[in-house]
């Protein structure tokens, strides 16, 4: 039986959970300097009702890449988008949308087991989110490899986005029109 593709609705928040570990670590944001000065670094932690675990998928304005989205969280708001470091494309970060973007478009694809990969083509090579570090709590980007179980993610809808600022502010740099 085929597992249906998740509804990546720009009007809903989603939870992104790694399926390789029995504790199912969930994608979250490091709470280091509050919402205004956060470094935007990612972490994996236990599932909870934490606004850093509420992810919105906004369809990319780029039509050249199928199934591509821009990702943002409830905690850091609509003007922080998931990006990669230009000098190290193995690291992802939530960056201010008005900062110079590097690689804001993320592709989402399905593995043969019904789980998902989340990847970026910074540097010309598709790298997908993976689990790293000795404690298995760091998020790293590595080349896509079907045999690597730590690159598999479950994406599920948590709730509808009711915060007006997610509809009124631009979700693209360069002052483009806001995405809904």
Domain ranges, residue 62:
12-170
**Residue 101's pLDDT is what?**
63
Q: Which of 76, 3, 2, 78 is nearest to 41 (CA)?
A: 76
Residue 121 lies in a domain: yes
Q: Which of 141, 166, 137, 161 is nearest to 151 (CA)?
A: 141
Number of domains in the chain: 1
Higher pLDDT, 46 or 7: 46
Q: Which of 151, 128, 162, 135 is nearest to 56 (CA)?
A: 162
DSSP string, 6-39: P---TTEEEEEEESSSTT--EEEE--SSHHHH--
Per-residue pLDDT band for 99 (boundaries 50, 70, 90) equals confident
Residue 175 lies in a domain: no
Residue 108 lies in a domain: yes
CATH code, domain with 128: 2.80.10.50
Residue 180 lies in a domain: no
Record the pTM: 0.86
Residue 54 lies in a domain: yes
**Residue 134's pLDDT is what?**
78
Residue 178 lies in a domain: no
What percent of the chain has a predicted confidence (pLDDT) above 90? 60
> What residues form DSSP beta bridges with 108?
118
Q: Is the dihedral of CA 170, 153, 28, 162 positive or negative?
A: positive
User: At a CB cut-off of 8 Å and minimum separation 6, what does 8 contact?
Assistant: 14, 57, 69, 108, 155
Residue 4 lies in a domain: no
Query: Does 121 have pLDDT greater than 70?
Result: yes
């Amino acid at each position: 039986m085929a597992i249906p593709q998740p509804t990546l609705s720009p009007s809903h928040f989603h939870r992104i959970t790694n399926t390789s570990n029995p504790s199912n670590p969930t994608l979250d944001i490091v709470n280091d300097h509050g919402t205004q000065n956060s470094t935007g670094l990612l972490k994996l932690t236990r599932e909870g009702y934490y606004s850093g675990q509420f992810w919105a998928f906004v369809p990319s304005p780029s039509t050249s890449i199928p199934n591509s989205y821009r990702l943002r969280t409830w905690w850091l708001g609509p003007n922080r988008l998931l990006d990669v470091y230009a000098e190290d494309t193995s690291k992802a970060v939530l960056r201010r949308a008005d900062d110079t973007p590097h690689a804001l478009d993320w592709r989402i694809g399905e593995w043969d087991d019904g789980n998902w990969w989340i990847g970026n083509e910074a540097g010309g090579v598709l790298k997908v989110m993976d689990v790293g570090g000795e404690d298995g709590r760091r998020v790293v980007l590595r080349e896509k490899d079907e045999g690597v179980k730590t690159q598999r993610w479950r994406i599920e809808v948590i709730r509808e986005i009711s915060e007006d600022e997610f509809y009124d502010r631009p979700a693209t740099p360069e002052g483009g029109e806001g995405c809904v």
